[in-house]
Amino acid sequence: MKMARTIAWSLVGLAVLAFGASWLWTDRRGGGPGDPAFAAAFELTDHSGMIRTQEDFAGRWMLVFFGFANCPDVCPTTLAEVAAVMDGLDEDAGRVQPLFISIDPERDTPTALAAFVPAFGADIVGLTGTPEQIARTADGFHIYYEKVEEAAAPGGYTMGHSSQLFLFGPEAGYVRSWPYGTLAEEILADLKEHLAS
Amino acid sequence: MNRIAMAALAALTAAAGLGPAQAGSEDVVVENAWARATIGTARPGAAYLTLRNAGDATLTLTGVAASAAARAEIHRSVTDEKGVSSMMPAGEIAVGPGTSVALEPGGLHVMLMGLRSPLDEGDGFELTLTFSDGGEVAVPVAVLGIAARGPGG
């Protein structure tokens, strides 16, 4: 009897510990797209060599996406789609800042990004940093990236990475994301609704 | 002498690839071949096209070469349910009779590695597609702007 009670209380204790741990865990991780506290946060170097944080873009909506300059298909396609969205905004384009964040810090120096990102027009800012800065940024945005060995690629590797396009509001709070492959026309229509609201 | 014979043979093979002499590959119709402009030659390029099989037997694309690059391969970009995109060699591409396979942004594409010169908007180059019957098809590819989203620009 006493033993059963001890076991029962131990189980309660464990449950409390587990609950506390999970609460701490979610709190410290700051949630993710489902969490109202999810916001854009970064300190990186832009393609002109300037240190940038989300505060530099305060008051503007941010379209944020991740990629790498050696990516021949998905990344240029996303850059082209974002450029098309920005063109479609006409006079509202100034209210939105598109940001391309590299997840390949080894190859994507600011100089390498300067020779790639501006070619797409639309004032897209390329951001990169040290491997640690990029890891921290990816953590903050809850995105995933990994090196994939590919003998034929420059440097012997390519990257796998989260490819959605994120929208953050004028106070840097998360608004929504669109999966890769969403048509620019659809993104533009959604974005215009948010800008008008 | 030997070299001349080889060159003549190569020329004949190339000519045969363009004409209707091969069994199978003469039924391939290649449409909308385009590539994105690149900046410099350090990074790989990508080319896209649609393969249509107008014949009544399955055709298999086994290889690709490009005049503009030291090496060309068919790759596939895939995006999983968590939104993570990655890219891998696609292997051989089978096109069933009467069907089409599109190589388009975000899916199958010809990855161009070791570019011989930058792909500049307005330029063109040639892709050579090799099929399982040994037939080759030469495809002229138009280089569109770097922000092109499809064959229409």
> Alpha-carbon distance A102 to A65, whole Å?
9
Same domain for A114 and A60:
yes
Neighbours of A188 (CB within 10 A): 17
SS3 for B90-113 is CCCEEECCCCEEEECCCCEEEEEE
Same domain for A77 and A1:
no
Give the distance from residue B100's alpha carbon to the nearest chain A alpha carbon, in angstroms: 20
Q: Is A47 annotated as a binding residue?
A: no
pLDDT value at A93 more than 50: yes
Query: What residues of A are in contact with residue B71 (Cβ under 8 Å)?
Result: 152
The answer to whether the CB of B105 falls within 8 A of the CB of B147 is: no
> Alpha-carbon distance A145 to A1, whole Å?
54
Neighbours of A36 (CB within 10 A): 8
pLDDT category at B50 given cuts 50, 70, 90 is: very high
Same domain for A12 and A50:
no
Interface touch A115/B106, C-beta < 8 Å: no
Same domain for A93 and A26:
no
Q: pLDDT tens digit string along A98-132? A: 999 999 999 999 999 999 999 999 999 999 999 99
Which chain B residue has its CA at the smallest distance from A121's CA? B147
Structure tokens at A181: 């492959």
Interface touch A152/B79, C-beta < 8 Å: no
> Alpha-carbon distance B151 to B34, whole Å?
6
Same domain for A18 and A109:
no
Comparing A63-67, B20-24, B84-88, the range with the smallest average pLDDT is: B20-24
Same domain for A175 and A92:
yes
Same domain for A174 and A83:
yes
User: Which residue shows structure tokens 């940024």?
Assistant: A137
Is there a domain that residue A37 lies in?
A: no
Note whether A159 contacts B: Cβ–Cβ < 8 A: yes
Q: pLDDT tens digit string along B95-141? A: 999 999 999 999 999 999 999 999 999 999 999 999 998 999 999 99
Rounded percentage of chain B residues whose pLDDT exceeds 70: 84
Query: What residues of B are in contact with residue A154 (Cβ under 8 Å)?
Result: 42-44
In chain A, the number of structural domains is 2
Residue A164: which CATH number? 3.40.30.10
Query: What residues of A are in contact with residue B36 (Cβ under 8 Å)?
Result: 72, 76, 80
Give the pLDDT of residue A193.
97
CATH number, domain B2-144, options 3.20.20.70, 3.40.350.10, 3.90.550.10, 2.60.40.1890? 2.60.40.1890
Is there a domain that residue A38 lies in?
A: no
For chain A, the average pLDDT equals 88
Give the pLDDT of residue B14.
47
Which chain B residue has its CA at the smallest distance from A146's CA? B86
Structure tokens at A134: 């990029």
Average pLDDT over residues A179-194: 95
Query: What residues of A are in contact with residue B148 (Cβ under 8 Å)?
Result: 80
Average pLDDT over residues B8-22: 45
Structure tokens at A102: 């590299």
The residue range of the domain holding A103 is 43-196
Give the distance from residue A79's alpha carbon to the nearest chain B alpha carbon, in angstroms: 7
Q: Is the ipTM of this structure higher than 0.90? A: no
Same domain for A166 and A142:
yes
Same domain for A92 and A6:
no
- Domain ranges in chain B are 2-144
Which chain B residue has its CA at the smallest distance from A181's CA? B106
Is there a domain that residue A36 lies in?
A: no
pLDDT category at A37 given cuts 50, 70, 90 is: confident
Same domain for A14 and A81:
no
Same domain for A100 and A17:
no
What is the distance of C-alpha A8 from the center of its chain? 45
> Alpha-carbon distance B101 to B113, whole Å?
22
Q: Is A142 annotated as a binding residue?
A: no
Query: What residues of A are in contact with residue B112 (Cβ under 8 Å)?
Result: 72
Phi/psi-derived region of residue B85, left when phi > 0, alpha when psi is between -120 and 50, beta in every other case: beta
Q: How many Cα atoms within 13 Å fall on the side-chain side of residue A130?
A: 3
Interface touch B71/A69, C-beta < 8 Å: no
pLDDT value at B81 more than 50: yes
- When scoring B48, B71, B85 by the number of chain A Cβ atoms within 10 A, the one with the most, hence best to mutate, is B85
Which CA distances in Å does A75 have to A165, B36, B105?
A: 11, 12, 10
Q: Is A194 annotated as a binding residue?
A: no
pLDDT value at B152 more than 70: yes
The DSSP bridge pattern shows strands B59-66 and B124-131 to be antiparallel
Note whether A148 contacts B: Cβ–Cβ < 8 A: yes
The DSSP bridge pattern shows strands B45-53 and B28-36 to be antiparallel
Interface touch A77/B149, C-beta < 8 Å: yes
Give the pLDDT of residue A16.
59
Interface of B with A (CB under 8 A): 36, 39-40, 42-46, 71, 73, 75, 77, 79, 82-88, 105-106, 109, 111-113, 146-149
Helices A74-88 & A184-196, crossing angle to 10 degrees?
40
What is the distance of C-alpha B125 from the center of its chain? 11
